[in-house]
């Protein structure tokens, strides 16, 4: 009888210990993030933090205001600009056309844009546009190439504009139609192409100057040419859905996905590492740490948005931070994004 009692006690101890461990795991990161986002130095946080694992929400909170002038509170399902996170959507659409045999990644873009006025169209390939090795400058298509195509890395929004032209030409569809369909396929029901109607539902961006004053941007100064690489409208929760569809094999064949998430070039980004990490197709690939990390950032002080989308394949975890503010002082621009990333990576959530 005494042995039975001891056995029952041991079972209850294991169950209680497991429950307590689960509770500690949850508090391991959420309380720290709460405390961080309440800080006022070196700046305020104004945005949404959304963390999801295996399709289950682990953390979702909105801090600050949708409109700093009117003090309208932000909501978790508010819509933000992707900024450069848009590049991975364009990359997937291009790769879907590659799978259909309509685009050759290694072909010069002259093959698809025969009347393009730039001589470099004879040598720059689709592959080089997607991984930012084309030599194009970021926002000026008229400047001569910075280097021989394929020789180095130079981040280029114009490169994604050009590859977007190839995409529209070879698919026979507008980018708006392609993105709208991709959002539908990924069940991103709270996201949209930024046309005149949809843009009315976009949270307003704020440019924070170095003296801490701010400018509320009533509308973005982006045209259709920026949508390929710099601006789509999404909610944080929808970005988590996107991660599931992209990284689970629902959008691309395994071999094509491997091309997107492999790299032949590295580049340094302040959010990820002091050392260079890989750049695939619209994705940064950090395989230098103790766990694989795939993601991208978005930032434009002039338009007033900061965004980070991180994915950890081993635990199927998404960490998404979207702010409708962007700081001209780049030293603190990604402060909260860096700190939240650090909290999550040091927590039990990814173990």
Q: Using CB atoms within 10 A of its CB, is residue 111 exposed (0-12), middle (13-18) or buried (19+)?
A: middle
* Closest-CA residue to 234 (of 50, 56, 55, 70): 50
Residue 249, CB-side half-sphere exposure with 13 Å CA sphere: 4
Contact 117, 128 (CB under 8 A): no
| Superfamily name with CATH number, domain 42-346 | DD-peptidase/beta-lactamase superfamily (3.40.710.10)
Provide the terminal-to-terminal Cα distance of the chain, rounded to the nearest Å.
40
Q: Which two tokens stand for residue 125?
A: 């390939």
pLDDT at 9: 45
* Bridge partners, residue 233, by sequence: 81, 192
Domain ranges, ordered by start, for the chain: 42-346
- Virtual torsion, Cα 276, 295, 312, 262, nearest 10 deg: -60
pLDDT at 27: 58
Q: What is the mean pLDDT of each run of 10 residues along the chain (351 residues)?
A: 48 43 60 96 97 97 97 97 98 98 98 98 98 97 97 98 98 98 98 96 97 94 95 98 98 98 97 94 94 97 97 98 98 98 96 86
Sequence-separated contacts (24+) of 37-41 with Cβ below 8 Å: 37/61, 37/63, 37/336
Q: Using CB atoms within 10 A of its CB, is residue 67 exposed (0-12), middle (13-18) or buried (19+)?
A: middle
Contact 299, 83 (CB under 8 A): yes
Q: Which residues in 65-128 belong to E strands, given as ranges? A: 65-67, 72-73, 80-81
pLDDT at 19: 43
Nearest-angstrom CA–CA distance, 208 and 210? 7
* Closest-CA residue to 318 (of 252, 218, 269, 246): 246
């Amino acid at each position: 009888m005494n042995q039975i009692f001891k056995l029952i006690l041991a079972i209850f101890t294991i169950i209680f210990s497991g429950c307590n461990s689960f509770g500690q795991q949850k508090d391991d990161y959420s309380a720290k993030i709460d405390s961080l986002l309440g800080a006022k130095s070196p700046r305020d946080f104004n945005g949404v933090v959304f963390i999801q694992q295996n399709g289950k929400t682990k953390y979702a909170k909105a801090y600050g205001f949708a409109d700093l002038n009117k003090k309208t509170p932000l909501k978790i399902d508010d819509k933000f600009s992707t900024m450069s996170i848009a590049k991975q959507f364009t990359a997937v659409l291009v790769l879907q056309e590659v799978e259909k045999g309509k685009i050759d990644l290694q072909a010069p873009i002259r093959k698809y844009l025969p009347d393009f006025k730039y001589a470099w169209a004879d040598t720059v390939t689709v592959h080089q546009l997607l991984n930012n090795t084309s030599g194009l400058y970021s926002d000026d298509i008229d400047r001569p190439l910075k280097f021989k195509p394929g020789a180095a890395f130079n981040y280029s929004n114009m490169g994604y504009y050009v590859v977007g032209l190839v995409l529209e030409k070879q698919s026979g569809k507008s980018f708006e139609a392609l993105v709208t369909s991709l959002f539908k396929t990924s069940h991103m029901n709270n996201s949209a192409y930024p046309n005149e109607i949809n843009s009315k539902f976009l949270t307003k961006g704020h440019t924070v100057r170095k003296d801490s004053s701010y400018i509320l941007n009533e509308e973005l100064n982006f045209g259709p040419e920026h949508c390929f690489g710099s601006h789509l409208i999404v909610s944080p929760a929808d970005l988590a859905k996107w991660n599931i569809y992209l990284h689970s094999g629902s959008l691309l064949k395994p071999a094509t996905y491997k091309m997107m998430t492999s790299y032949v070039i590295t580049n340094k980004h302040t959010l990820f590492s002091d050392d260079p990490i890989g750049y695939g197709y619209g994705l940064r690939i950090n395989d230098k740490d103790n766990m694989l990390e795939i993601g991208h950032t978005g930032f434009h002080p002039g338009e007033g948005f900061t965004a980070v989308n991180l994915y950890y394949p081993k635990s199927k975890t998404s960490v998404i931070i979207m702010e409708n503010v962007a700081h001209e002082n780049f030293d603190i621009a990604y402060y909260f994004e860096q700190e939240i990333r650090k909290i999550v990576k040091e927590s039990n959530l990814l173990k």
